Structure 1
């Protein structure tokens, strides 16, 4: 089962919660998602991420307030809204608070999760590290993809498995744990989520024309090759878009699909770059060919396309010709940085 890309392998991506809802930040597409709850389909909104808020290593929302801390290196900035610029002055991280795998804010304190040591460090202030306390992280809670404070008293993490799909699991020092499924409209926005929700991606060659000479002599002729080029504009989720600073739905759809196709197979991708392809609405193109077929010769014309689930999404320009009904054995698209022939 293909999974969701963990935070450590998706720079600029993170999740957090505040009294205003559940948030997913995607720096790579310049947007963030806001929903009342991660398991609810209600009012899932996409908003534009301010350029100065992109590229954070961690995004930490206050489960009891409205501020968001954007951690980068050994410092952080605060903002009240990710669609606006953060405060200009960077605040230093105390040495004991540096190098955490995940960060969260709840109950007026900050939690720094160190997975290698299986501990959660709780401090009253990230800049001073005062009132530091450590608690062990149970082995079952050490394999989360993203960690966040779901309310003012509990931490939670996102996980994925065959039975439950993508889920949120609440954990606490008392051992109490609740598991809730992540709604598809939220899951689709996470890196790897489109494949998880739509049951995989694929790339395939399709034979769009067969030309044959059934005589015993050469056969000149003119033939029309018609192919589709572009991408099928499809609604990926039930998202709403605020009017100020939000991307166009079509632009976001393209950015998310390009990102999904570029991921390695472990995260439901194909490891292929598609930015150079035609991403306008799909249209048909015709081309006339003048060919002399040799006696008893057959020529098969193939076009490559990529898709989600079982639906073609992107029709590539590249055409290939074979003399047998076997499809071409190579890929017409370049490998992405995250995928290669050995993935």
Structure 2
């Protein structure tokens, strides 16, 4: 079953917006954002830290003059830099433009999309003193997961299909004709919420048999065994997703390890979006290393014991080797999940 990108309606502080030269993918859950000059080619991919005052917005908009707008409830914060919160100004949002589903900037105008009403409102200002025009939202244009504007057109991210992750670009949200589809580069998909399940495969959590011990004699045997197990996460493998990203120093200082944080988020998502719906925050997220554990037990004649370790991974590749072991006399893996469920 094809997994999907988490839509804007189901996550907070995550959005896509675009200015004059770049498109921005905001990930408040990661504390950073991606800047790219071309979503299709994956050009100029740079990761910047997201200032605490600029996080967890309901919506993010950029204009052609270098401003960003972080909308929260009934007001918005306008800044010139999402990393530093530079030139911050807070203003009220016009009551007519509150509770929109999506916000975007096109040229010198703002567009507010109300999906349930099937309309969008075009205005010259988000503030109290503004005039606007209402237009109907076309059926195809109403299916977007995220929306953003360029200088002369608007774009929206489409639900994942057999053709992968694509976005649609057109001059008019009111008409379906003239819309053109473009694929999103895999290096960009990796940064989208749920994207790892598309480029690497859905998350899994399962018990793996790491050792089987059998007593073939006719008498009980007391065993004391030193077990070698791998603990930590496959950082080298995960770091491959960032090879074409330029990550600014402030991001590394804040996150410590961005790829590990992205993996934790992916594992926390529901199965619909390629996650395992578990919280792995308290596991060991250092580079995977071999650890020794001394185990003592009595084994009855002609019986076997099975040692199981829980692992999280993506596709067929293990990513996280959890600390806990289970010893069982059953050849089938345990049924329990040793990690707490992720909070929705």
Q: Which residue of 1 aligns with 2:251?
A: 246
Q: Which residue of 1 aligns with 2:220?
A: 218
Structure 2 distance, partners of 1:79, 1:20, is 17
Structure 2 distance, partners of 1:148, 1:221, is 64
Kept in 2: contact 1:229–1:283 (CA 8 A): yes
Q: Which residue of 1 aligns with 2:180?
A: 178
Structure 2 distance, partners of 1:109, 1:215, is 82
Secondary structure of the residue aligned to 1:271 is coil
Deviation at 1:221, TM superposition (A): 2.6
Greater CA drift, 268-277 or 303-312: 303-312
Kept in 2: contact 1:205–1:302 (CA 8 A): yes
Q: Which residue of 1 aligns with 2:6?
A: 5
Unpaired runs of 5+ residues, structure 1, are 339-343
Question: Equivalences for 1:187-336 in 2 at 5 Å?
Answer: 187-233=189-235, 234-235=238-239, 236-237=241-242, 238-243=244-249, 245-247=250-252, 251-336=257-342
Instruction: Report whether the alignment pairs 1:43 with 2:44.
Output: yes
Deviation at 1:38, TM superposition (A): 1.0
Deviation at 1:322, TM superposition (A): 1.5
Cα RMSD between the aligned structures?
1.5
Deviation at 1:129, TM superposition (A): 5.5
Return the TM-score normalized by structure 2.
0.94
Kept in 2: contact 1:159–1:168 (CA 8 A): yes
Instruction: Report whether the alignment pairs 1:109 with 2:109.
Output: yes
Deviation at 1:70, TM superposition (A): 0.7
Question: Equivalences for 1:48-59 in 2 at 5 Å?
Answer: 48-59=49-60
Q: Which residue of 1 aligns with 2:164?
A: 165
Q: Which residue of 2 aligns with 1:341?
A: none
Kept in 2: contact 1:77–1:87 (CA 8 A): no
Q: 1:72 to 1:7 in 2, by over 3 A?
A: same
Deviation at 1:20, TM superposition (A): 2.6
Secondary structure of the residue aligned to 2:197 is helix
Structure 2 distance, partners of 1:246, 1:335, is 28
**CA shift digits 1:86-138 (9 cap, x unpaired):** 54441111111111000011121110000001111001111135331011111
Q: Which residue of 2 aligns with 1:22?
A: 23
Structure 2 distance, partners of 1:160, 1:16, is 18
Kept in 2: contact 1:229–1:282 (CA 8 A): yes
Structure 2 distance, partners of 1:323, 1:153, is 67
Structure 2 distance, partners of 1:92, 1:221, is 71
Q: Which residue of 2 aligns with 1:125?
A: 125
